[in-house]
Amino acid sequence: MNEERHHRTIQSFVKREGRITRGQQRALDELWPLYGITPDSPVDLDALFGRTAPRTLEIGFGNGEALAEIAAQQPEHDFIGIEVHRPGVGHLLQLLQKRGINNVRICNTDAVKVLTDCIPDNSLDRLLLFFPDPWHKKRHHKRRIVQPGFVQLIARKLRPGGIFHMATDWQDYAEHALAVLQASASFRNCAGDGNYSVKPEYRPLTKFEQRGQRLGHGVWDLLFERRQVDE
């Protein structure tokens, strides 16, 4: 799903197109005008959604099933999903139409660029990063999206009190992210220093995660709150 700028530009992804089904291509052709956004300047989120509401942004939504489920459960919230994998975008568009979900908008580009150039500061209530590319080889760890520069960036975009929620099935990445986030003066660990959080009810179990559980694989959730300005 994910990454490289911020001192050697971190991107949020590795470009992998994959095969697009006829249904996904039809959704991209017909539904993108309804749900898709191609921002190249700061976005007026109230105008985009036609209301003022709590805002959640997900980086790398994969096939979109988790995002569609959360958005359906929380119609009073607005959601922005970012994914570079076009088959996944097409699949999410199909889900949104099938389930009549209208509180989601989609970007099909690099998340770091969107956050830097298009999302206003102090505008997000929650930022989700579920199962990012772990770059498991040690020489590739520098490509992981969760780095000090990225943490500074999302701290600017979250409102004080806003939540950054990451989940990973790679313990090494969980430990890395925990250390990076706890080193930031902008965030407070919701589970207490050195601890991982219990999976919130709003995060659906993916098929991938369910399979991993059957195989005995662990999953680590990290929830960090953006500190109040005067803390």
Write down the pLDDT at residue 17.
59
Write down the pLDDT at residue 106.
98
pTM: 0.89
Write down the pLDDT at residue 209.
80
Write down the pLDDT at residue 230.
53
Write down the pLDDT at residue 137.
83
| Interatomic CA distance for residues 120 and 114, integer angstroms | 10
Q: What is the DSSP string of the chain?
A: --B--SSS---B------PPPHHHHHHHHHHHHHHB---SS---HHHHHTS---EEEEE--TTSHHHHHHHHH-TTSEEEEE---HHHHHHHHHHHHHHT--SEEEE-S-HHHHHHHTSPTT-EEEEEEES-----SGGGGGG-S-SHHHHHHHHHHEEEEEEEEEEES-HHHHHHHHHHHHT-TTEEETT-TT-PBPPPTTSPPPHHHHHHHHTT---EEEEEEEPPTT-
| Interatomic CA distance for residues 150 and 148, integer angstroms | 5
Q: Is 133 a residue of the active site?
A: yes
Write down the pLDDT at residue 7.
40
List of domains in the chain: 41-226 (3.40.50.150)
Write down the pLDDT at residue 231.
58
Write down the pLDDT at residue 16.
53
What the block records as the tokens of 22 is 């006829």
Write down the pLDDT at residue 35.
97
Task: List, run by run, the mean pLDDT of 10-residue segments along the chain (231 residues).
Answer: 44 60 96 92 95 98 96 98 96 98 97 95 97 83 93 98 96 96 98 97 85 84 90 58
Catalytic residue, from 29, 44, 46, 133: name it.
133
Write down the pLDDT at residue 1.
46
